[in-house]
């Protein structure tokens, strides 16, 4: 039986931490009640577990527990935030600002709103992947109701200046939403200091379960109004109906708690592994780092390789390591990464890109092995394709 490739695709998803699984297991069989069933002990147990989890996630981003709305993941949270604000503030304005490098879960809802008559400004990014703050402020109009800028990019790992963006939005009395799916548990997040009004979160990017996420929805200074997108039971204050998935919620909170507790040590360790990987790959000419060299997630490395066919390179590495060329959510697309083209890359170079997501369970030995295998593949492909 062949050995599995080394997993380096932690921006697509992460393996569940065994400590998270252990926290979840009792809520599948022993404490299986519906948290909305408040007339008996089974429901009370589930309700208490959900409340504890809600407080854990709220504390992680410095908000009140009543401001956390559980969803099926960040995609739903993004849709709820963008469509919900658009519907609730329709009479105030129909203009939204976002960024060309956003995840499809933000870009596609915005494009949908355009079909309904909304106007959307898709801001470009600079060569390092960061937005131009002056350009953002200039784009704000009297009818702008929402700015949506992701915290950390899912392809190039670039961390946007959230506090500065939040300050601009607050000065202009425009709501600020951020997709923090890649950021929770990896970098500090504070909705008060950063003046964030809505924040999308997910569990499976932080060693938690798939199928669970949350939307932070500010309730004061300002109180954000939002139109529900899923109705039918009145759960989550009527904002997101549906029976709460207690085991997933418990696992999500445990994963976030572990991420915060180990953030300092993991950041240091992953930075060392990333720098080792980059130093090894950078031995060859024609390998380009994509995104800001420092202002990025500690476990992220995204490179483009000159002189090779991107598909051939990925195929040559399938038995060695599990990596991707871009977003896993767009992996079936034959188009080059919209993130890399937004950085100014031509189609050929955008195709020949590798995204590494170094995670909690990766080792120095794995990085060394992968580095050498990749260098060998690039040299071989360049010789063959010359």
Strands, E assignment, the chain: 6-7, 68-71, 95-99, 119-123, 144-148, 175-179, 198-202, 213-217, 287-289, 300-305, 321-322, 353-357
Check 10, 110, 169, 329 and give the catalytic one: 329
CB 6 within 8 A of CB 321: yes
CB 12 within 8 A of CB 357: yes
The count of other CB atoms within 10 Å of the CB of residue 153 is 30
CB 42 within 8 A of CB 33: yes
- Name the token pair of 176: 């600020």
- Between strands 68-71 and 213-217, the pairing is antiparallel
Instruction: State how far the Cα of 305 lies from the Cα of 284, in Å rounded to an integer.
Output: 10
Instruction: State how far the Cα of 247 lies from the Cα of 25, in Å rounded to an integer.
Output: 7
Which residues are bridge partners to 99 per DSSP? 123
329 is catalytic: yes
Burial of 92-104, coded b for 16+ CB within 10 Å and e otherwise, reads ebbbbbbbebbbb
Instruction: State how far the Cα of 218 lies from the Cα of 216, in Å rounded to an integer.
Output: 7
- Name the token pair of 127: 């060569």
CB 149 within 8 A of CB 178: yes
CB 317 within 8 A of CB 373: yes
Task: State the catalytic residues.
Answer: 329
């Amino acid at each position: 039986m062949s050995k599995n490739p080394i997993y380096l695709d932690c921006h697509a998803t992460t393996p569940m931490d065994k400590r998270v699984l252990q926290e979840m297991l009792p809520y599948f069989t022993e404490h299986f009640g519906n948290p909305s069933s408040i007339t008996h002990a089974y429901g009370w147990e589930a309700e208490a577990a959900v409340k504890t989890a809600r407080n854990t996630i709220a504390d992680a981003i410095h908000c009140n527990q009543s401001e956390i709305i559980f969803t099926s993941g960040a995609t739903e949270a993004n849709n709820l935030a963008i469509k919900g604000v658009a519907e609730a503030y329709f009479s105030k304005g129909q203009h939204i600002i976002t960024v060309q490098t956003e995840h499809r879960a933000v870009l596609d809802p915005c494009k949908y709103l355009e079909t309904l008559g909304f106007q959307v400004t898709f801001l470009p990014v600079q060569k390092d992947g960061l937005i131009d703050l002056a350009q953002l402020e200039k784009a704000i109009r009297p009818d702008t109701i929402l700015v949506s800028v992701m915290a950390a990019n899912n392809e190039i790992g670039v961390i946007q200046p959230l506090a500065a963006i939040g300050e601009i939005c607050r000065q202009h009395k425009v709501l600020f939403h951020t997709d923090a799916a890649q950021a929770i548990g990896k970098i500090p997040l504070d909705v008060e200091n950063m003046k964030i009004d809505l924040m999308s979160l997910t569990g499976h990017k932080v060693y938690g379960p798939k199928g669970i996420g949350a939307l932070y929805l500010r309730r004061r200074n300002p109180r954000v109004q939002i139109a529900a997108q899923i109705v039918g039971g009145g759960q989550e204050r009527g904002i997101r109906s549906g029976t709460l998935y207690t085991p997933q919620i418990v696992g999500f909170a445990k994963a976030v708690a572990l991420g915060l507790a180990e953030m300092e040590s993991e950041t240091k360790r992953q930075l060392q592994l990333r720098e080792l990987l980059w130093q090894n790959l950078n031995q060859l000419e024609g390998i380009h780092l994509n995104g800001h060299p420092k202002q990025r997630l500690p476990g992220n490395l995204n490179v483009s390789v000159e002189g090779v066919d991107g598909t051939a390179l990925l195929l040559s590495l399938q038995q060695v390591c599990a990596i991707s060329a871009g977003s896993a959510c767009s992996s079936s697309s034959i188009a080059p990464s919209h993130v890399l083209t937004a950085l100014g890359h031509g189609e050929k170079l955008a195709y020949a890109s590798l995204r590494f997501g170094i995670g909690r369970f990766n080792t120095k030995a794995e990085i060394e092995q992968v580095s050498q295998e990749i260098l060998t593949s690039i040299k071989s492909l360049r010789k063959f394709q010359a």
